[in-house]
Structures are given as C-alpha cells and as structure tokens.
Amino acid sequence: MITDHLLPTKAPVLIWFRQDLRLADNSALTAAAAMGQPVLPVFILESGDGQRRWGGASRWWLHHSLASLAASLKKRGLPLVLDRGDPAQVLSRLARESGACCIHWNARHEPREVAQDLVVKGTLEKAGLTVVEHLANLLAHPTDLATGQGGPYKVFTPYWKKFLQTQVLDSPLPVPTRFVVPSAIPASQDLASWNLLPKIGWDSGLQESWKPGEGEARALWDVFRAGPMLAYGTQRDIPSRHGTSRLSPYLHWGEISSRQLWHDAQNIEGSEGFLRQLVWREFSHHLLHHFPHTQAEPLRSQFSSFPWDGDPALLASWQKGQTGFPLVDAGMRQLWHSGWMHNRVRMVVASFLVKHLLLPWQDGASWFWDTLVDASLANNTFGWQWAAGCGADAAPFFRIFNPITQGKRWDPRGNYIRRWVPELAGLPDKLIQEPWTASEAVLEHLGVKLGRDYPFPVVDHAWARQRALDSYGQMRG
C-alpha cells in the first residue's frame, strides 16, 4: 500500500485513463486523489504494437468522449494531458517532466492489452516508478470464477449462478470531492490533430443518435431505470420500441460503471433480466480471457473446416442493407446510420450472414467492429461465435433464424422496417415482411418496383436453409 510519507511532498500522481472515461466510481482516480498529491490525468493514443485499431464509429465516439472528460476535469481544475505513442515511453517522459513517481490505472482485460500492460508496468518499475492497477471496468476479474474442477465456464447459466453465489460487490465510489492541482503541466496534444473524426460527413447519423460522455450516460440510465426497465422482460425484444437501455457504448468506453448499474438496479422489481445482461458481459470477458484464440478462430475446432461460400457480392448486399429481406435490411441500415443495432435484430442479421449467405462469421465480426460504437472485442467475438454455433454456449448451427417469421413476431406491424426501409413504408402489415409476395398491381399502386426501388431476395429462404444444413453435415463428416 502506498502512503503519503513515501512520496515527495508535491510529487504529482499520474492517472492513466483508458476505457474508463468517467469520474464517478473510478477506482484509479479515487485512489490517486486520496493520496493528497497533485493529480495529473493522461490519455494516450497508442501506437506501435499496442496501437488500438478502432473502427470508424469507435474513433468518432472516442473523440467526443475525450472532449467530455476533459470538460469534466476542467471544472475541477484538472487538465487532461493528451499524448500519443508507446505508453511506456510516454508515461516515463511525462513522469520526468512533471516529477511524478506514481501511476494509477484501471485494468484492461483484452488479451493483447493485458500483455501490453505487463510490459509497460515492468518498464516503468525498472525506471523507479510505482504502478498501481485497479479493477473498475468489470464486476469481477475474468479469473475470479471457476468451475468445480477449477477450469473456465463455457455455459452461461452455471456461470450466472456462481456469480450470484460468490460475488459481493462494494458500493460504487462517488466522484472525489477534492483534487490537488499540479503546479506544472506537461504540454498536451490537440485532440483534433488525432483525426479521429471522419474527413467526409458520414457521421451525421451518429451525431443525431448519440451524445457521448459521462453526464449523458447517467441521464440515459436514470430515464431507463425509472420506466423501461420495469417492462424490460416483455419489451426488450421489440426493435421498434425503446425497451433496452442503449447503455452498451457508455459501458464499453467506461463512461458509466457496471457496478453503478448493478447497485442501482438490484432492488428494482423486475430487474433480473437486465442484471443477467450485465453478467453476460462479464461472461464474454471470462471466455476471451481463457480462450484468446477465439478472436479469429472458432472455440469449437471442428468449425475450422466449415465449407463457407465467401461470395463478396453477397457480403456487400448484407453490409448495405440490400438483401431483399426487410428485417435484415432494416437492422443493417440502422447500424450504418446510428452505429448501433437492436439486440434481437443483431441475432437475426448475424444468423442470416452465416447461415443464409454461408459467409464466415469473421466477416460479420469485422464489419461490426468498424461500424458499432459499442465494438467490444469480448462481446463482438462471443456474439458472432454464438450466432455461428461455434462458440461457448452457442445457438446450435441447425437453429436457423427465419428473418420473415422473426419480423412477423417481433415487428408485426412493420414499424421498425418502415423506419429504416422507407421505400417499403406504404406496404400493408401483411406484406411488409415479404414484399415479393405482393401483386404487381399493389406494388405499382404504392410506387414500388422490386429490383429498382427495393431488391428481390438475394437467396431463397428454404433453399438457403437446406444448403446451410447440408454444409453443416459435410463439416461433421
């Protein structure tokens, strides 16, 4: 444990922000402030082997989240020093320039970053700096839960039960009430110079849909838990309604903590479904920690020989929301416009890519990584392997979502489709899921010509389903 008397009287304490871009319930920030020394917040855009290869939507979010964090710190008299390069070199230089001899950060949990942090920690400690790592971005460390045999879990339900039995969570930490401001502040780079924002204006939909930052996360949470959470069990699968929290990007960037959400929600009647979703997030990190190869390879090794089709034209039609299946196209257009997609529709579009189009799940994971504002490596990997039937606790490959019946069940009046596929907005409810079944007279009356205004289906559902099952049988031998 570090105590004040071990430090020079005015030596600053560095706090290295990463994916914990908040002041409340931030263990590293609270510990740094409690030392009574000047606090110097830092964010590093990493380069070299440790570079974060964020997708376009993620870079957009990061820019605005950093601007929000800098404004929050400024209100408390603190700067946010921005720098880029190798973290060990940058932190060593900033420590020399500021006279700091201690660095706090919150642990990261993706395999590459865990390995990098070990190297950075070793380098800094060799230089005489003290490094203190905290847990702040998950409810539990990925190694905290183990099966009775001591191994990792591969099925969620026993993981969930073990979590409830064993995890006692502390109360979330308030924003520190007092910070000591450093007398000397190293030079900071200009956020705009990092070019995180797009050079062409494709981000108008993101601007319309989101306001990154800790304050917005808290406001969104307060609205959700006061209303939609009470009907979460019945509304969360309906894509045309605001039945989900939409907090996933704020959790991913650490603008609100899962511990805060757990603490606030646990005593609300009917909140179990939401709490389970928080633990699903924990489970995905547990899996990625224990099976890091799943970032690119299936957990179930037999799927390495799956006979994928790999037609780039079909991939493009899926990416653009031009498959001819209205629910799939609505989801993909919502993703491109807003950087987010309703969870029920995510399952449908993922199943469609892998099973109807017979394209590898890695293609879908790559597209989501570039277009999602909540592109978490753990969640993205787990979700796609679940859809492809090749991961832990996955949906069986032979379970093939029918996008037509899924639409009829979860969007029966076509409200979601009308929002995101406006060329079909005039179709009656009974036709909007299957526009190709409408007569030419009806389509002409509505001003819709298939093949011109909206595509014919790129595959026949029954044929594609059978092809997927045949391919699965071929893999199994």
**First vs last C-alpha separation in the chain:** 58
Which tens digits make up the pLDDT trace of 112-138?
Answer: 999 999 999 999 999 999 999 999 999
Mean pLDDT of 370-390: 95
Give residue 36's pLDDT band: very low, low, confident or very high (50, 70, 90): very high
Instruction: Strands of 64-119 (E only): list them.
Output: 81-85, 102-106
Where do the structural domains in the chain lie, given as residue ranges?
Answer: 4-137, 138-170+212-290, 301-476
Please give the mean pLDDT across all residues of the chain: 94
Which tens digits make up the pLDDT trace of 256-304?
Answer: 999 999 999 998 988 999 999 999 999 999 999 999 999 999 999 999 9
Give the CATH superfamily of 301-476: DNA Cyclobutane Dipyrimidine Photolyase, subunit A, domain 3 (1.10.579.10)
Give residue 9's pLDDT band: very low, low, confident or very high (50, 70, 90): low
Mean pLDDT of 314-322: 98
Give the 3-state secondary structure of residue 415.
helix
Asked if residue 27 lies in contact with residue 141, where contact means CB atoms within 8 angstroms, the answer is: no
What is the distance, to the nearest Å, from the Cα of residue 151 to the centroid of all Cα atoms in its chain? 26
Q: What topology does CATH give the domain 4-137?
A: Rossmann fold (3.40.50)
Residue 63, token pair as written in the block? 């820019």
Given a cut of 70, whether residue 6 has pLDDT beyond it is no
**Nearest CA among 54, 138, 130 for reference residue 95:** 130
**Nearest CA among 31, 58, 68 for reference residue 219:** 68
Give the Å distances, CA to CA, from 71 to 67, 122, 460.
6, 32, 53
Asked if residue 381 lies in contact with residue 288, where contact means CB atoms within 8 angstroms, the answer is: yes
| Orientation angle between helical segments 111-126 and 272-290, nearest 10 degrees | 70
Mean pLDDT of 323-335: 98
The domain over range 138-170+212-290 is classified in CATH as 1.25.40.80: yes
| Cα 150 from Cα 144, distance rounded (Å) | 11
Cβ-in-10-Å burial (0-12, 13-18, 19+) of 442 comes to middle
Q: Would you say the pTM of this structure is higher than 0.75? A: yes
Mean pLDDT of 5-15: 71
The phi and psi torsions of 472 (rounded to 5 degrees) equal -60, -45
Question: What pLDDT, on the 0 to 100 scale, is given for residue 393?
Answer: 87
Asked if residue 387 lies in contact with residue 354, where contact means CB atoms within 8 angstroms, the answer is: yes
| Cα 244 from Cα 214, distance rounded (Å) | 19
Which tens digits make up the pLDDT trace of 66-84?
Answer: 999 999 999 999 999 999 9
| Cα 83 from Cα 44, distance rounded (Å) | 5
Mean pLDDT of 333-340: 97
**Nearest CA among 34, 286, 275, 64 for reference residue 155:** 286
